[in-house]
Amino acid sequence: MLEKKSSAFTTYCRGYENVLSNLVEVAPAYDPESGFSRSLFRKYRAVWDTGATHSAITSQVVRDFALRATGMAVVYDATTTQNVHTYSVNILLPNHVEFSDWEVAEAGGLVGDEDILIGMDIIGTGDFAVSNKERTVFTFRYPSQEEISFSRQT
């Protein structure tokens, strides 16, 4: 991870949503301190999934960048277990926090038009909250700064 200062974003949905998604940017893995050109980044719609332990990309992202597999992983969902390829990418969130040389699994397909799945490996590095007053809103802050509780108990 390149950036350590606090940074946050909030995504406001038009109505109530049962899928949390927004745009993120992805590039093949590189060292951000190398002065590498940011022109390789492409925007993709990402789904934020607290039920996923690791982040993933679709086969479309693999093809877009002609990525080479870095290994294999076993992926579990509600009904199946699969062996899938893993890849190293850089993921840039809307708050300009970059996760560099991040290992992701290949997912056959995601919800709707999403090509990236942001899992707990990324969500768990910061503070994440969802609210549903009049519409769905979700927010993410990196790095984590404090415990968030809507019910303070001592």
| pLDDT tens-place string over residues 66-103 | 999 999 999 887 788 999 999 999 999 999 999 999 99
- Residues of the chain with pLDDT > 70, as a percent, come to 95
Tokens of 135: 């519409």
Place of tokens 């397909």: 109
Is residue 137 within 8 Å of residue 131, measured between CB atoms?
yes
What pLDDT is recorded for position 73?
A: 94
Place of tokens 């990418």: 89
Distance, CA of 76 to CA of 126 (rounded, Å): 24
Task: Give the Å distances, CA to CA, from 117 to 34, 90, 122, 129.
Answer: 27, 13, 10, 17
What pLDDT is recorded for position 4?
A: 60
Is the pLDDT at 60 greater than 60, yes or no? yes
Split at pLDDT 50, 70, 90, the class of 35 is low
Is the pLDDT at 2 greater than 60, yes or no? no
Query: Per-residue pLDDT tens for 129-154?
Result: 999 999 999 999 999 999 989 887 76
What pLDDT is recorded for position 154?
A: 60
SS3 state at 87:
strand
Burial tier of 35 (Cβ tally within 10 Å: 0-12, 13-18, 19+): exposed
What pLDDT is recorded for position 41?
A: 94
What pLDDT is recorded for position 127?
A: 97
Least confident of 11-25, 27-41, 48-62, 96-110: 27-41
Length of the chain: 154
What pLDDT is recorded for position 10?
A: 96
Place of tokens 């199946």: 80
Place of tokens 């056959």: 108
Place of tokens 């909250």: 129
Mean pLDDT of 120-135: 97
Split at pLDDT 50, 70, 90, the class of 1 is very low
